[in-house]
Homo-oligomer: A and B are copies of this chain.
Amino acid sequence: MSATAAAALDGEDFAQLPESAPSTGREKSVADLMNPPVGLFGPKVTVREATEALREQVKSAFITYIYVVDDGGRLLGLVVMREMLLAEPDTALEAIMIADPFALDASLPLTEALKLALHKHFPVYPVVGEGGRLVGLVRGSDLFANRAVEISAQSGSMVGVDKEERMGTSLTRSLKLRHPWLQINLLTAFVAAAVVGAFEDTLSRLVILAVFLPVMAGQTGNTGCQALAVALRGMTLGDVKPGMERDLVRKEGMLGFLNGGLVGLTAGAGMFVYATITGEQQPFTLAAVVFLAMIIACSVAGIAGALIPLTLKRLGADPATASSIFLTTASDVASMGIFLSLATAMMPAP
């Protein structure tokens, strides 16, 4: 035979990456992914009896483990085939079973189930319902394919792409899903614009500052995004243990400070050269403004990059959701506001 086994190894175990179901307003649970249970026996059944019964059952079902249940269908234990093979034929299943095996609750949200199963990597998990009754089996490949789909959605979530959106999503649906976040992004951009607008006098005196606005905003934004990405990844992989949040924020603030200082030197030098070429009055002061603003703004951006996903999580939201949009607002306001404030203070109108 071995045909069943071959099918099991090459056919049945092939799990298509699931297309996410259209948003139904609730998260998928383990029950949505499970199949009916197979390979069930009572605790007093002997290895010989179970083996004989299996011989029939494997013709119609793919059986990986044997599940031991009581008369009420409650899951008592799990028997692996290797133990069946090595046991004496008269042994009762309860003598070789793993009692109280790891099982998933049918009502558990998939994301929670994934976290529990992440380190197990069993081919199949038993699913239990009310009172510990065995109600189904869920394949590890189905769970993990879902996890890959989940994690890969993160960089999209950060900028307002719905987890549901995949390559095959229609143009109109993509538009409907993405557009609201762009309007929100616009509102936050108006905040940054208002900050710049408050310095119109300074800008009209020193148009060269406008030339460096994109440098300040771009550089600070990228520094913050690095912090955000590292924080999110740490949260996804479970590296950020409770109590470590403060360390994370402190480290990212310090990195922002150091990166801002080093980048500020280059950017300040760029300003000095540009200001000299274009005949500005105080090229050195302009360079100092760029340097100082870069240090402060990058420190703020690093701290914001770590704080935003931590705050979103504390509020019960997905830490990735629109995090990049919030971060960009913070880093735009900080970078351009500090830059123009310093310029106004250090280069007052005559």
Given A215-B192, A222-B325, does the pair A259, B120 have CB atoms closer than 8 Å? no
Which residue of chain B has the shortest Cβ distance to A218 in the bound complex?
Answer: B189
User: Nearest chain B CB to A132's CB is how many angstroms away?
Assistant: 18
Q: How many copies of this chain does the complex contain?
A: 2
How does the 8 Å CB contact mask read for A191-222 relative to B, with 1 for contact and 0 for none?
01100110010011001101111110111011
Given A148-B118, A226-B160, does the pair A240, B6 have CB atoms closer than 8 Å? no
Neighbour of A222 across the interface among B63, B80, B182, B236, CB < 8 A: B182
Interface residues in A, total, Cβ within 8 A: 128
Q: Are B119 and A255 in contact (CB under 8 A)?
A: no
Q: Are A190 and B215 in contact (CB under 8 A)?
A: yes
Cα–Cα, bound, A217→B159 (Å): 15
Q: Are B225 and A324 in contact (CB under 8 A)?
A: yes
Neighbour of A118 across the interface among B145, B193, B211, CB < 8 A: B145
Which residue of chain B has the shortest Cβ distance to A3 in the bound complex?
Answer: B98
Q: Are A13 and B122 in contact (CB under 8 A)?
A: yes
Residues of B within 8 A of A95 (CB): 2
User: Nearest chain B CB to A294's CB is how many angstroms away?
Assistant: 9
Which residue of chain B has the shortest Cβ distance to A184 in the bound complex?
Answer: B222
Cα–Cα, bound, A167→B151 (Å): 17
Is residue A230 contacting chain B, with contact meaning CB distance below 8 A? yes
Is residue A346 contacting chain B, with contact meaning CB distance below 8 A? no
Cα–Cα, bound, A186→B221 (Å): 11
Residues of B within 8 A of A64 (CB): 82
Cα–Cα, bound, A108→B236 (Å): 27
Residue among A5, A123, A154 with max Cβ neighbours from chain B (10 Å): A5
Q: Which residues A209-262 have CB closer than 8 A to chain B?
A: 210-215, 217-219, 221-223, 225-226, 228-230, 232-234, 236-240, 244, 248, 251, 254-255, 258-259, 262
* A and B contact pairs by CB, cutoff 8 A, 7 listed: A1-B83, A148-B151, A156-B230, A171-B254, A185-B218, A196-B214, A214-B336
